[in-house]
Amino acid sequence: MIDGLREARLDVQRRLAPEMDWFTPPDERHFDPASAVAAVAGLLVSAFLAGFAAEAEKSLREAGRAAYRRLEALIRDALRGEPAPAAAELERLAEKAPALAGRMEPDRVRSFLEEAEATLRIHLEVSLPPDRAASLAAGIREAVVERVLRAGRGAGTQTVNP
């Protein structure tokens, strides 16, 4: 597993749990809340990392949008009680991000993080009020930077600043 990915998911689970009702219509709240929060948190972290990687690879718009369209479908499936994708599939979505961040100047990393956060926030606003979407997207960015990107840069390299 990518260094820090588990911890990033746990950080996002703590932030996401109070917001889960926003993601599901009242007549469809027939899921195990703990499992759903864990699944959706993993999807959000992976989608953020995939969005960051897409931005960093210059496949900008279409690849980033495709990652978030996939995220929307995965969240819908998770809330319907369908099995979450295998952890390996989620890791494949995100595995490029730490290596890419390690090869870039901090200003470029910061720019791509901002773009990935803004794109995720826009997609979260489909389910959440704008202030809550912004807060959750910022929390996901913070978890990814702290737990995955900084940990993946290794000793002797420049630090990623959120």
DSSP state string for 73-92: HHHHHHHTTPPPPPHHHHHH
Q: Report the residue count for the chain.
A: 162
Is it the case that residue 35 has pLDDT exceeding 90? no
List, in order, residues 6 or more apart from 18 with CB less than 8 Å away: none
pLDDT, position 156: 33
| % pLDDT > 70, the chain | 71
List, in order, residues 6 or more apart from 129 with CB less than 8 Å away: 22
Nearest partner of 94 among 54, 150, 34, judged by Cα:
54
Angle at 75 (CA atoms; ends 21, 113), nearest 5 degrees: 100
Burial class (CB in 10 A: 0-12, 13-18, 19+), 160: buried
Domain ranges of the chain: 5-153
Per-residue pLDDT reduced to its tens digit, 100-134 = 788 878 888 888 889 889 888 988 888 889 999 99
- Pairwise pLDDT comparison (38 vs 68), residue with the higher score: 38
Q: Which residues in the chain belong to E strands, given as ranges?
A: none
Residues 28, 75, 45, 137, CA torsion sign: negative
Mean pLDDT of all residues in 82-99 = 70
Measure the CA–CA gap between 110 and 69, rounded to whole angstroms: 23
